[in-house]
Amino acid sequence: MLYRLIFHQPQLSERLIPTLFIMMAPPTIGFISYIKLMEHAISSFELDSFARILYYVGLFLFMLLLVQYRQFVKIPFYLSWWAYSFPTAAITIATVLMAAKTGLLFFQALAYILLVALIALITLLLVRTFSAIINKKIGVEEE
């Protein structure tokens, strides 16, 4: 899947292209869950290699998809654009958690950047969705 994403155009219909963002969610949600479970089990839990691998895989997938932003923004608005929101929120939360655990300025700055980007994305999605509702482009039968 990654090979096809990097070197070839995915053979998905326009409506389904935004769903590629979902690939980023499992490692980031896994990172968040793992940290919370380990904190509950071990009160003095510090980041271990497994947690870092989960986070960095999610961050890598996010950057990989971010580099291909032209492919994502050139398609017309469909409700599937909302597939951008959940994985972006997941990487934002994971980065906030990583910043809290490491205390590194890099992760703190990245968390703020991702939070601003997430707010802008949600705002854009809301505006585009309401615009599509007003213009009666949602729920229309395909030709």
Taking only the tens place, the pLDDT of each residue in 81-137 is: 898 899 999 999 999 999 999 999 999 999 999 999 999 999 999 999 999 889 888
Q: Secondary structure of 53-113 in the HEC alphabet?
A: HHHHHHHHHHHHHHHCHHHHHCCCCCHHHHHHHHHHHHHHHHHHHHHHHHCCHHHHHHHHH
Q: Exposure of 143 by Cβ count < 10 A (0-12 exposed, 13-18 middle, 19+ buried)?
A: exposed
Taking only the tens place, the pLDDT of each residue in 53-69 is: 999 999 999 998 888 77
Only one residue has tokens 């951008």, namely 84
Taking only the tens place, the pLDDT of each residue in 102-116 is: 999 999 999 999 999
pLDDT attached to residue 58 = 95
Cα(93)–Cα(99) distance, rounded to whole angstroms?
10
